[in-house]
Amino acid sequence: MSTSFERVSRFSVGYDMREVDEFLSRARTAYEGRDPSFTGGDITAASFGTERGGYDMRVVDEALDRLSDAFALQARDDSVAEHGEELWVAKLTERAEVLKERLERPAGDRFAPAAQGEPAYDKADVDGLCDQLVAYFTDGHPMSVDDVRRAAFGRRRGPDGYREAVVDVYLDHVADVMASVP
């Protein structure tokens, strides 16, 4: 993966180029098997400072999505090679079942409500995506990992919405499971 990305104009704000380049250098080292402490979770958790004239955020985010997919497939291949495909499928199915349990909760109660005054995601928007995920996990409804990664939710404040961090972590796990399926 190239660490040179399209830049925004010098009047616009983009990701800090040095931070992105250093992160991708670490990711490359890990992917080549020389840094086992770096995982796909590090990609999901990555954040960068900003600077005028920096890297285009959308382009970097899309590259990180592809990198996350590559790490997920590499982990799958490593697991299959070490333990066999049957065990890998069983573990992936178990992870999917755990994720599906939350989806079976009633709409409006799938995630923790936000605290009074706290920024939150609109419950109806999140529940709409959850309904699509139910169809994906139970009926094989077509859905891509990018549908999950690019989901956007209306904003609320307080208990009328779901806590953003809880929803984000859950969706990161869903995306990881989806990306693990070749």
182 pLDDT more than 70:
no
pLDDT in tens, 90-102: 988 898 899 999 9
132 has a pLDDT exceeding 80 = yes
18 and 43 inside one domain? yes
Mean pLDDT of 14-39: 89
Q: Residue 130 carries which side chain, given as an amino acid letter?
A: C
User: pLDDT digits over 37-83, tens only?
Assistant: 888 778 888 889 999 999 999 999 889 988 888 888 888 888 889 89
Beta-carbon contacts of 88 under 8 Å, excluding residues fewer than 6 positions away, are 76, 79, 80
CA distances from 174 to 55, 59, 65, 125, 129 (A): 28, 22, 13, 17, 12
Domain boundary residue among 22, 55, 80? 80
Tell me: do 72 and 91 sit in the same domain.
no
Residue 29 CA neighbour count, 13 Å, CB half: 11
Per-residue pLDDT, averaged over 132-155, amounts to: 92
Neighbouring C-beta atoms of residue 145, cutoff 10 Å: 19
**Are 160 and 123 within 8 A, CB to CB?**
yes
Which residues span the domain enclosing 135? 85-179
Same domain (yes/no): 162, 130? yes
Task: Classify the C-alpha dihedral 85-65-109-152 as positive or negative.
Answer: negative
132 and 101 in a common domain: yes
- 8 inside domain: no
CB 129 within 8 A of CB 151: yes
28 falls within a domain: yes
Domain check: are 103 and 75 in the same one?
Answer: no
Whether 94 and 128 map to the same domain: the answer is: yes
Same domain, 91 and 174: yes
- Tell me which H or E stretch contains 96: helix 85-103
Structural domain includes residue 121: yes
- The last residue of one of the domains, among 26, 45, 80, is 80
Q: Give the whole-angstrom CA distance, residue 38 versus residue 59.
A: 22
